Structure 1
């Protein structure tokens, strides 16, 4: 089931998308922007964060280790964010290697 068929009910995610979606799309030009995890799939608790995957050619210029920190500093949101930042090649490889990535693609909310 792909969650894009449903409305996001989590108010934190709604606020995040209202405030940051256009900025992320303009700055990072992702071909995939997927939200996943407890805030999308069900019952977030007080410790739930925002989980997302970004796939972009913009990441070809950056080492993997530095991407997440740069984006987190750039976004500055009041809730904790975990972001997986992949080039297209890395993403295709992770689809084969990582259950988390496959599950996010299968059950996540496709922003774009």
Structure 2
């Protein structure tokens, strides 16, 4: 089963959050970032600009600012809250490559 619908639901939730929280939107608006999500057999790229994910597609972008590598099961756990992000990182259930500022920023998004 593809994770594409689950990821799209997270993106939709992010957009609603931006609409409801003008302070957060103002903080995020100037940022322009590319995120890769590597789930093994599934890979995705998300592009952020003007406080919106304007691009979500299969494949990886070689110019990504952040690359998250995990399994579909672990990503599902992160999405539904059954797996906490720090626990996943410490147990190496998720690997993240990128600048520390970008990593901290990811937490604010979702």
More helix by share: 1
- Does 1 or 2 have the higher relative contact order (CA < 8 Å, sep 6+)? 1
More strand by share: 2
State the TM-score, normalized to the length of structure 2: 0.30
State the TM-score, normalized to the length of structure 1: 0.29
